[in-house]
Chain A
Amino acid sequence: MSLADDLYRETILDHYHQPRNQGVLEGPSVLTVEGVNPLCGDELTLYLDVKDGLIADVAIKSHGCSINTASASMMTESVKGQPLAKVQTLIDTFKKMMMEKDSQVTLPEEMEELEVLEGVKKYPVRIKCALLPWNTLLEGLQCSATGAGQAKPKVVTSE
């Protein structure tokens, strides 16, 4: 399979050119988290509105590469409206798929589309691009749980 088939598949490019939930959220309950990919310097800002144990709304502002942008876009679609416990499972599942060598993860319905990112695994430097939004969301959930309104910019690693 060529790289274009692996990485630059239509789903990815579609989300890259028309990212979902791009933008800024405002409001007293909105939490802001910044993610930085130290490898390439890409930054993203995640806006998270948690209400009644659900992700009521989520938005991302970024100028990332295709992998990063598509991952963020698909992530927001899969977690929006979901209860926090479920979101945690989605994050764990995605990270498992991306980080374990021969992971045989079956993705739940909410995130089936994200399977296209599995091809990124062949390109180790790019895994971080795919993980950045998810690690930023994780940080957001932790801030939300501890009541810390604003998180310090989180430097994302592939752990």
Chain B
Amino acid sequence: MLACPKMFDIDTIRKDFPILEREIEGRKLVYLDSAATSQKPQSVIDALVNYYADYNANIHRGVHTLSEEATAAYEGVREKIQAFIGAPQSKEIIFTRNATEAINLVASTWGKQNIKAGDEILLTPLEHHSNLVPWQMLAAEVGAKIVFAELTADGRLDLDSCRRLITSKTKLVAMTQMSNVLGTIVPVAAVAKLAHAQGALMLVDGAQSVPHLPVAVKELGCDFLVFSMHKMLGPTGVGVLWAPAEILESMPPYMGGGDMISAVWRDRALYNQLPWKFEAGTPNIADVIASGAAIDYLAQLGMDNVRAHEVEITEYALKRLRDLPGITIYGPESSQDRGGVISFNFAGLHPHDLGQIVNEDGVAIRVGHHCCQPLMRDMNVTGTARASFYIYNTKEEVDALYKALENAQKVLGHVACR
């Protein structure tokens, strides 16, 4: 078994992440961009390397030892993910490239089959382009309409607007459980009830929530859950789609090819059972296997502990950053209503300039539209600076951010202030 800390001990955790030793511009790296992608513990890196070094082989149908080992490891991760999100059956876990591909899979299969001209798809203004553009494409193709729920002034979902806007015309409600810009935690379980009451299905974009919150599909009450392993300590190239077996059975395949069939003739094919029906071609074996190590790591920490740590860091960061003159912090006030994501701007300073100057102090934040251009327009900005936290971030790093921002203000403001 891999060595993982039993308790939430930040020093032990930090030692597991080799990249945190890196220096940037002669300063210790302060990585505050985990909402874009998280860093990886040594156990994940080892799992990846061990697969290639010890048992690299194609999976399924292999009779030799290597193939059997690789198949067992790959399929074993399906079970780990099943347990991690409390899914009833492992065959309901479909591996994709990322959350984006999982959403596209649902749009092109279930969506095309069930959404017709005049039907409505309800989204929120918080959606990442990946939970917006696939629905725009589907709506354009079938003649459906996209409807947006409303937000409160501090960026929370207005449930009343959902009550009003989810009607018998609504066939699908799709929304993020945590905004990657405002940090807002969305009460998706309550929305799922509204959707089901009108006969609509509910898709939850868990790209930000599954890495940071305890998530159990039963409690969400949704019909589709998607997420990306690279945001939760895993490697890039692995996404997950979960849906109940009955729904997955009813959907046509997404891509055709090897592995997704059980028998093929010249003129037709019989499709494979779940989950392989949706996994055409050689999958991303190595990265799925390494994803297993990421799940182990998080499971041993305990997602309640992960959440508690992030609430603490976020609360501290909100308090400190509010001190900076000229800052606007977006999103919910209380750290209970938000994940470890803080978007902000300074009056008269462009986020791009900020991001570049704080990088000089080794501080990595993200700047720009965060793949949420419609939300940026609603907020009347072209972009924001965003700091995001994960299990390895400390209060000292928040202090480093504070100092770096103070310095950036000095550098950028010095002509105006003189």
| Residues of A bordering B, CB below 8 Å | 2-4, 7-8, 10, 13-14, 16-17, 39-43, 63-69, 123, 126, 129
Contacts and interface: CB of A to CB of B under 8 A. Distances in A.
A38 B360 CA distance: 24
B356 A41 contact: no
A3 B360 contact: yes
A40 B352 contact: yes
A126 B355 CA distance: 11
A-B pairs, 3 with minimum CB distance? A65-B350, A65-B352, A41-B369
Interface stretch (B113-121, B158-166, B178-186, B409-417): B409-417
Contacts of A68: 350
A65 B369 contact: no
B360 A40 contact: no
Given A8-B411, A16-B415, A41-B383, 11 more contacts: A2-B360, A4-B360, A8-B353, A13-B412, A13-B416, A17-B415, A41-B373, A42-B352, A67-B352, A69-B350, A126-B356
Contact of A66 (B350, B368, B369): B350
B74 to A, nearest CB: 36
Given A13-B415, A14-B415, A63-B382, A41 B376 contact: yes
Contacts of B382: 40-43, 63
B303 interface: no
B360 A66 contact: no
Interface residues of B, number: 21
Contacts of B318: none
A63 B349 CA distance: 10
B49 interface: no
B367 interface: yes
Nearest to B352: A65
Contacts of A3: 356-357, 359-360
B383 A8 contact: no
Most buried by B among A2, A13, A43, A129: A13
Contacts of A41: 368-369, 373, 376, 382-383
Contacts of A13: 412, 414-416
B31 to A, nearest CB: 18
Nearest to B372: A41
A17 B416 contact: yes
Interface in B315-373: 348, 350-353, 356-357, 359-360, 367-369, 373
A68 B359 CA distance: 19
Given A2-B360, A40-B367, A41-B368, A64 B411 contact: no
Contacts of B351: 40, 65
Contacts of A63: 350, 382
A126 B414 CA distance: 21
B385 to A, nearest CB: 11
A66 B385 CA distance: 15
A99 to B, nearest CB: 19
A2 B27 CA distance: 13
